[in-house]
Structure 1
């Protein structure tokens, strides 16, 4: 079988190309590589919080808890419960806005009839300190020596909470990376033949809590990186599945190896044509985590001014607006400076995806890195 030409670099070379960061992660639907990519690049994750958004709070916390447990990271990565609800938006106003301006394909934790998968009885590894407070504490601890980088791949609520309590946070961090911020996707959604295409072109991370998104994106970070449209372009494929299967030595090995349960979850049956819509989604959050971890993965970017539409009676409520910085609103609407990522090294990403899943992370807290995965 001809292998995909995914470019990979040795771990030693990769570590020499990047400056180690301290990272705080907040998300509403963690996947393993969002957490493992920073570790693979030699960074330190000083905190992780799971918040309401793409799933109910207990499910978002439950998924993250399972990942932390399965990779045996509880002893060295503090895990917290993030925001339990948006700043202003509620289930009722969410549904009302849809009645006014059109139903969303994906409604996350606010999907009518949503049923929890996890229960709080399943979750035992969560710290008592709320995510926003944990973020503030981490920022204060490292602000003079090694300012942390924030990775926000869900609603902006937890980070907005932290900013409202401790406004100095924005000046005492290295920067913020977010997943979301699509630009000019209205026509793609309007002409889509399948609902999944509409979903992919809908900015749910911002739409579920527009006020928090606006507060966060215009706070004045030293560095603000927005994933934007580029994250839609890296998707699963049969060729990628074949690489996963070949590297394991067969699909039966993946099925029979408990450590590879998250790989099995990614591959499904191993036949891409049998996937459901959820299994064909882009690697959204993982892409942002990857280029945060390995900045050399970024090939092109644009510097712009940004804001989030927070007018409830607007069809663009919760959508990102962008301007050339010279033509941004001089007053009235608050804007922030951001770098939108336009192009990344796709082969590099897929190579790191494979490499990271096929390392053994269960001894990371003891030895400070992955060890060889023996199958």
Structure 2
């Protein structure tokens, strides 16, 4: 057998596949898997921290910037939670306190995009696309599901096709903070925001369905994602690598990086521009598990009692002490990763040229 063909087979067998659902896609959530040799079999944009149209628009912008629209299909995910709506969201806040970040439920929220600003695959909804991707690869290379917003799209898929849980490779999620009540209550607005688990709070029922399903693997980012944040040191590294801030400002290819840097001066940037690398961190340790330095296994559930101040919060127990009257799931919670390597990967990935990926299946040297 031809040695090149053997190497191709080895590469194929060792590849991984992932379907991503998010409420506002970031560049590295796409580029990290590609850099690690994974295949993204689909992306869906859902309501959550953004409106559905804005989630789809943000996803389209990432795919267009890196010329990935021809090989990564883009679908519309859940446009609303399973049960929660604007009225019940407001009523719960009246009872138990107002959230700093309300995402698409904020009364002041205004759409940035309109539906005619972009194109996407509208042949099937995101939940069905997720199911089809899992079914198509279950016997050869099972698909990981990566849910970085509400769990609604995944819950829809489970409802339509319960075998999704055991035919997929597993589920990674962004969210699941715990032991953050003091920080949220005593900190500044941005500290409160960072310690509020909006991804679960916006659709607690979907989160409970998803996190207590019998996944082959369930990995939760949780608190660790709050610890890796932008800084002036990181900005300076990125600017130095580009040989100046104007290079980043003037080149459309660096549009996503420019949005991260904003002014290039950390102290001048807004609170939103200083948010942690939530989705990026989970993406990184999903595709490079050797980044993980410490993790714990717990029984988990989501509080779905509407008349509870912890409605939509993750609850964790040691397996021997989990409640018997509540359905729980088994999850691995990541406690620590190698911070320095994460930042190295971030810098390197932004300065690779991904615009030929759909034809060459990898980055090429970036000329800047």
TM-score range, shorter chain: over 0.9
Please tell me whether residue 301 in structure 1 is matched to residue 298 in structure 2. Answer: no
1: distance between equivalents of 2:24 and 2:122?
A: 18
d(CA) in 1 for partners of 2:225, 2:254: 25
**Native 8 Å contact 1:255 1:261 kept in 2:** yes
Question: How far has the Cα of 1:303 moved from its partner?
Answer: 0.3
User: Secondary structure of the equivalent of 2:145?
Assistant: strand
TM-superposed CA distance for 1:19, in Å, is: 4.3
Quote the offset at 1:128 in angstroms: 2.3
Equivalent of 1:107 in 85, 102, 120? 102
Tell me, in whole angstroms, the C-alpha distance in 2 between the residues paired with 1:183 and 1:280: 21
The separation in 1 between residues aligned to 2:120 and 2:163, in whole angstroms, is 30
With normalisation by structure 1, the TM-score equals 0.94
Instruction: Give yes or no for contact 1:152–1:177 (8 Å, CA) kept in 2.
Output: yes
Query: Where do residues 302-341 of structure 1 align in structure 2 (5 Å cutoff)?
Result: 302-330=296-324, 332-341=325-334
Q: Indicate yes or no: 2:197 matched with 1:203.
A: yes
RMSD: 1.2
SS at match of 1:167: coil
Q: What residue is the counterpart of 2:3 in the other structure? A: none
Residue equivalent to 1:82:
77
Q: TM-score, normalised by structure 2?
A: 0.96
Match of 1:60? 55
Matched, 1:250 2:244: yes
Please, which of 336, 343, 353 is the counterpart of residue 343 of structure 1? 336
Count of residue pairs brought into register by the alignment: 358
One of 167, 186, 189 as aligned partner of 2:184: 189
* Aligned residue in 2 for 1:39: 34
Equivalence for 1:164: 159
Structure 1 position 22, deviation (Å): 0.6
Matched-pair contact (CA < 8 Å) for 1:65–1:126: no
| Mapped partners of 2:352, 2:86: distance in 1 | 41
CA distance in 1, matches of 2:155, 2:204: 11
CA distance in 2, matches of 1:300, 1:320: 20
CA drift of 1:190 comes to: 1.4
Does residue 265 of structure 1 match 2:265? no
Q: Equivalent residue of 1:304, what SS?
A: strand
Match of 1:237 among 209, 231, 239: 231
Aligned equivalents of 1:256 and 1:312: distance in 2? 49
Deviation at 1:125, TM superposition (A): 3.2
SS, match of residue 118 in structure 1: coil
Gaps of 5+ in 1: 1-14
Q: How many Å separate the matches in 2 of 1:321 and 1:124?
A: 39
Contact 1:106 1:199 in 2 (8 A): yes
Matched residue SS, 1:288: helix
Q: Which residue of 2 aligns with 1:9?
A: none
Task: Specify which of 270, 275, 285 is matched with residue 269 of structure 2.
Answer: 275
Output the CA distance in 2 between the equivalents of 1:264 and 1:113.
Answer: 26
**What stretches of structure 1 move > 2 A for 4+ residues in a row?**
125-128
Aligned pairs for 1:284-295 within 5 A: 284-295=278-289
1:255 to partner: Cα distance: 1.0
